[in-house]
Structure 1
Amino acid sequence: MFAKFKKVMLVFCSGALVLTAAGCGGSADPVEPTKSSPAPTTTATNSPPPVSSSPTAKPTPTPVPGSSKGPAKNWPVPKMPDAAMKKSEAGIKAFAEYYYALIEYTIQTNDTKPIKQVTKRTCVECGSTYIDPFDNNKKAGSWLAGADIKAVITKTILQPDQGIALYTTTQGEMTLYMSDGTLQGVFPATPKPAPMMMLLKFEKGWLVESMEYLDEKS
């Protein structure tokens, strides 16, 4: 699925209880009346502890990668870094790294929506390798375990409305399981880093226009 090569050129309630004590008692001899005085009062305050205005944050579920026991769970959607939104060589590098985080997310979850949002359909390699197969996996209920795809950016080039990223990728072993947990196949890890090129188009942000494998220099 992944190990192939193409030749290219380049997110008050305070209840106060008031107690009134009224002195009341009997005596054998009458006593002269005295001026009445206000009965002493005692105020007891029993306030509940203050309630926090913000709800208690729920702990973030631990991501569980796919395995023979089932597909990945709680896998977080990668968040695009601010740097990846900039039209600069640094922005190209940040975006290319972000895109590969999306590839890893897609492989683990069969969720292609995030990667589609930053991919032009002109990118044949993106569709045939990183989008369409996982849409099909989702429909079939099958899943992949493994992958661990990484990209190392070696050079970026900024043009008026385009960007180019040159990089190498590595991929760990991947195992495909069918919906009933049956082992369907194993994709071996890449024996060494593969050189690639990513062509980007800037349209209010970077979009992947094409991806190609490059010939290695002899």
Structure 2
Amino acid sequence: MTRLSFASFTVLIVRVAAAALGLSLLLTGCQGGCPPSKPSSETGPTTASPTSGASGSPSADGPSATTAPSGVYKPADAKGKAQNVPVPVMPELAKENSKEGLEAFIRYWYAQQNYAIETGDSSSWKRLTAPDCRACNRIQEGIDDSNVDGRWLAGGKITVPVVEPLWTDNVVGQQAKVQVIQQRADYFNADGTTGRAFEKATNSAFGLSASFGPNGWTVADLGLIG
């Protein structure tokens, strides 16, 4: 994995564990949960308020709306897959080339990742992600593996309490620090047996790079801040 440099740091080493294929989609970092990152009084990160989407399911703690399919949303459990999962809708702010737009986009990107985790459909998430983002490709492998041969995942929901854009004027590429909290995830085979070992809940800090182009924002790189 490459290194991500931030203006407010020296050099931060990005660590992406290849062994985390099973839950690389969940971007595990601190096993068992680290204490939440403390907001810096100098940088002043924004803490999001919970969203009230159509059912509140795939939201990543941001202003992203959702459109609910017909039927009542039912999260996955030991008895079966999630049903009628609301589809995240990109907010207009996330289409802007601004500090606020970048934050809104990152929250929407994670909301789409939640949707992919619950449904196995990562098509919208992939369109927001650069094909050469190696960590993102591992996430995609994890999503695929979690849904192979009728397998499903219960839990694993992502919340994003803090997104701190490290904004630089007049550049295409921007960077941000993101706190990602993820619930415990359990895996089940099509016949209801255990698919593989569960994954612990995590609380991690990530460095995220994104670029703005004719089609809007794209996540270019991602990694754990070590």
Tell me the TM-score normalized by structure 2. Answer: 0.66
SS at match of 1:78: strand
1:77 matched residue in structure 2: 87
The answer (yes or no) to whether the contact 1:120–1:207 under 8 Å persists in 2 is yes
2:115 matched residue in structure 1: 105
Superposed CA deviations along residues 5-47 of structure 1, whole A, max 9, x for unmatched, are 7xxxxxxxxxxxxxxxxxxxxxxxxxxxxxxxxxxxxxxxxxx
1:189 matched residue in structure 2: 201
2:99 matched residue in structure 1: 89
Query: How far apart, CA to CA, are the structure 2 residues paired with 1:59 and 1:149?
Result: 21
Query: How far apart, CA to CA, are the structure 1 residues paired with 2:125 and 2:69?
Result: 27
Query: How far apart, CA to CA, are the structure 2 residues paired with 1:112 and 1:164?
Result: 23
Task: Report the identity percentage.
Answer: 29
- 1:141 pairs, out of 140, 150, 160, with 150
Q: Which amino acid letter does the alignment assign opposite residue 88 of structure 1?
A: S
Q: Bigger shift: 120-129 or 79-88? A: 120-129
Query: How far apart, CA to CA, are the structure 2 residues paired with 1:172 and 1:138?
Result: 18
CA shift, 1:195, in A, is: 1.2
CA shift, 1:59, in A, is: 8.4
SS at match of 1:208: strand
SS at match of 1:196: strand
- 1:67 pairs, out of 48, 60, 77, with 77
- Segments of structure 1 that go 5 or more residues without pairing to the other structure are 6-57
Query: How far apart, CA to CA, are the structure 2 residues paired with 1:127 and 1:179?
Result: 25
1:90–1:59 distance in 2 versus 1, CA, 3 Å:
closer
Q: Which has the larger radius of gyration?
A: 1
The answer (yes or no) to whether the contact 2:102–2:165 under 8 Å persists in 1 is no
2:175 matched residue in structure 1: 164
1:114 matched residue in structure 2: 124
SS at match of 2:198: strand
The answer (yes or no) to whether the contact 1:93–1:156 under 8 Å persists in 2 is no
CA shift, 1:3, in A, is: 2.0
SS at match of 2:117: helix
Q: Which amino acid letter does the alignment assign opposite residue 106 of structure 2?
A: A
Q: Which amino acid letter does the alignment assign opposite residue 153 of structure 2?
A: L
Runs of 4+ in 1 over 6 A off after TM superposition: none
Query: How far apart, CA to CA, are the structure 1 residues paired with 2:103 and 2:111?
Result: 13
Q: Which amino acid letter does the alignment assign opposite residue 102 of structure 1?
A: Q
Q: Which amino acid letter does the alignment assign opposite residue 196 of structure 1?
A: F
1:176–1:59 distance in 2 versus 1, CA, 3 Å:
closer
1:3–1:138 distance in 2 versus 1, CA, 3 Å:
closer
Q: Which amino acid letter does the alignment assign opposite residue 204 of structure 2?
A: A
Query: How far apart, CA to CA, are the structure 2 residues paired with 1:100 and 1:155?
Result: 15
Superposed CA deviations along residues 49-70 of structure 1, whole A, max 9, x for unmatched, are xxxxxxxxx9842211111111
1:178 matched residue in structure 2: 189
1:40 matched residue in structure 2: none
Higher relative contact order (CA 8 A, sep 6+): 2
1:46 matched residue in structure 2: none
Query: How far apart, CA to CA, are the structure 1 residues paired with 2:104 and 2:86?
Result: 18
1:3 matched residue in structure 2: 28
- Segments of structure 2 that go 5 or more residues without pairing to the other structure are 1-22, 31-67
